[in-house]
Amino acid sequence: MKKLTTLLLVIPFLINAQVDTRIYDIIDAVSADHIEKDITTLVNFGTRHTLSDTTSTTTGIGAARRWIKKEFEQISKECNNCLDVFYQKNFVKKGDGARIVKDVWVVNVVAIKKGTKYPNRYIIMSGDIDSRVSDPNDFTSTSPGANDNASGMAGTLEAARVLSKYDFESSIIFVGLSGEEQGLYGGKGLAAYAKEKKWDVIGILNNDMIGNIKGVDGIISNTDFRIFSEPVPPTETDNQRNARRFYGGEVDGISRQLARYVHKTTKTYMPEMNPMLIYRLDRFGRGGHHRPFNDAGFAGIRIMEAHENYTQQHQDIRTENGIAYGDKLEHVNFDYAKKLTAVNAINLASIAWAPAAPEKVQIGGIVQPYAKLVWTEVPGAKGYKVYWRDTTSPTWDNFKYVENVKGTTLEGIVLDNYFFGVSAVGANGHESIVVFPSGIIRN
Ligand SMILES: [Zn+2]
């Protein structure tokens, strides 16, 4: 009898465990003042162009990256050396691309908060160190890059400050990438380094321009933001592509699932925000540092403002026809950058507190009045959520929660009319990214 009472008390707790109040603490801890201070410091380096001076202590990308490293080291000092801070660099030869007009070391600044349980599993948050003006190869002119992309860099530093106060099961990487404007070189270098080190990369949240709220179209919003994700990995095989024709998955690649995860966490904990799932790799014909991770087969998304102002990106500072061009500090909304930093921080935390995703999910129920899903057991998972949605819905709208099983049947759900996925849920309520089925059960 006593056992039964305990059980009854425990069950409502577990159901409520889907919300973790620590996540609200994380949102509250993100500081707009810190972000303003850091963007200001970055702007004051004059230019952070990848090919700019590296010897000065006050200007150029060398001074900027040394300052970023020192900031990470300071954060680490305050959490009992909880971060591994280092430079990850690659030598790029003159002429490697049209924007590499001289030999250069592309240097990223990396800070890793090691996971307590799964140190080799990594979720990454990135911003960019480098900036540019109208001519991408002009490495001497003043190039404040306040929004593009000191905002993402400052957000990354601030997320590190906030999350360094907690322990996580999986590792979190905070990184300032270089060489973005010259051809995504820093991301390419770190993605290759991750492969070489055999890191199990869950994905990257790439932050590029998270501080502008006034669009060139006249729209002003401090709650809209965009989550860009490509539909399917560029590394998929011909077999995988063929399978998609018959079993679906055109809009269900690993990056898209990461995007949906960020969308859902934001809706749950920051309902005042308006996350927009954008079904494309990036803006039309434009690039960002999540792409080299996608190229390497890793999940990666771009988080950014919804309303861009092109007169304040990649521009020489000047006034022309009454328009003040330039990516200057005065155009950045620090409170908005703080909100998008919080979006990152809560997703990093939730992913790093969650068990791994099931490695393989299989689906069956062809010509049956049910759908059946089976998956590989995940160590540390308390249960699993089996999701389904209308084929036209962008979000995982329905789920069934199950415990202590490696499969379940959804009675009355006809396989043909929905898409399905499975996530693993920890005892703390945090769940992994959803996995789309990659195998068929034929009976
Ligand atoms: Zn840019």
CA of 143 to the centre of ligand 1 (A): 11
DSSP run (H or E) holding 156 = helix 152-163
CA of 208 to the centre of ligand 1 (A): 8
CA of 303 to the centre of ligand 1 (A): 14
Q: What residues have CB less than 8 Å from 102, skipping those under 6 apart?
A: 51, 94
CA of 313 to the centre of ligand 1 (A): 7
Residue pair 388/371 in contact by the 8 Å Cβ criterion? yes
What pLDDT does residue 14 have? Answer: 46
CA of 28 to the centre of ligand 1 (A): 29
What pLDDT does residue 12 have? Answer: 43
CA of 171 to the centre of ligand 1 (A): 28
CA–chain centroid gap for 179, Å, is 19
Q: What kind of architecture, by CATH, is found in domain 21-353?
A: 3-Layer(aba) Sandwich (3.40)
Q: How far is CA 265 from CA 16, 169, 347, 349, 375, in A?
A: 15, 18, 7, 11, 23
Residue pair 278/306 in contact by the 8 Å Cβ criterion? no
CA of 254 to the centre of ligand 1 (A): 25
CA of 264 to the centre of ligand 1 (A): 28
Tens of each residue's pLDDT in the chain, 443 residues: 444 444 444 444 444 446 899 999 999 999 999 999 999 999 999 999 999 999 999 999 999 999 999 999 999 999 999 999 999 999 999 999 999 999 999 999 999 999 999 999 999 999 999 999 999 999 999 999 999 999 999 999 999 999 999 999 999 999 999 999 999 999 999 999 999 999 999 999 999 999 999 999 999 999 999 999 999 999 999 999 999 999 999 999 999 999 999 999 999 999 999 999 999 999 999 999 999 999 999 999 999 999 999 999 999 999 999 999 999 999 999 999 999 999 999 999 999 999 999 999 999 999 999 999 999 999 999 999 999 999 999 999 999 999 999 999 999 999 999 999 999 999 999 999 999 999 999 87
CA 24, CA 4: separation in Å to the nearest integer?
33
Residue pair 195/135 in contact by the 8 Å Cβ criterion? no
Q: Where in the chain is the domain with CATH 2.60.40.10?
A: 361-441
Q: Where in the chain is the domain with CATH 3.40.630.10?
A: 21-353
What pLDDT does residue 19 have? Answer: 86
CA of 182 to the centre of ligand 1 (A): 9
CA 261, CA 378: separation in Å to the nearest integer?
19
CA of 131 to the centre of ligand 1 (A): 7
CA of 263 to the centre of ligand 1 (A): 24
Residues 357, 226, 152: CA angle, nearest 5 degrees: 85
CA of 132 to the centre of ligand 1 (A): 7
CA of 74 to the centre of ligand 1 (A): 28
Tens of pLDDT, residue by residue over 282-324, are: 999 999 999 999 999 999 999 999 999 999 999 999 999 999 9
Q: What residues have CB less than 8 Å from 50, skipping those under 6 apart?
A: 61, 104, 106, 130, 139, 178, 179, 180, 181, 182, 185
Q: Number of helices and strands (H, E) in the chain?
A: 11, 17
What pLDDT does residue 420 have? Answer: 98
CA 370, CA 385: separation in Å to the nearest integer?
17
CA of 181 to the centre of ligand 1 (A): 6
CA–chain centroid gap for 12, Å, is 32
Tokens describing residue 130: 């480098």
For every residue of 385-432, DSSP letters joined together read EEEEEETT-SS--EEEEEES-SEEEEET--GGGEEEEEEEE-TTS-B-
CA 232, CA 256: separation in Å to the nearest integer?
8
CA of 268 to the centre of ligand 1 (A): 31
Tokens describing residue 139: 């490495």
CA of 48 to the centre of ligand 1 (A): 12
For every residue of 85-96, DSSP letters joined together read EEEEEEEE-TTS
DSSP letter assigned to residue 319 = E
CA 166, CA 131: separation in Å to the nearest integer?
32
CA–chain centroid gap for 133, Å, is 26
Residue pair 166/186 in contact by the 8 Å Cβ criterion? no
CA of 69 to the centre of ligand 1 (A): 22
CA 342, CA 156: separation in Å to the nearest integer?
10
CATH 3.30.160.60 matches 361-441: no
Q: For ligand 1, a single-atom ion, which residues have Cβ within 5 Å?
A: 148
Q: How far is CA 41 from CA 30, 159, 176, 181, 334, in A?
A: 18, 17, 15, 20, 14
What pLDDT does residue 11 have? Answer: 45
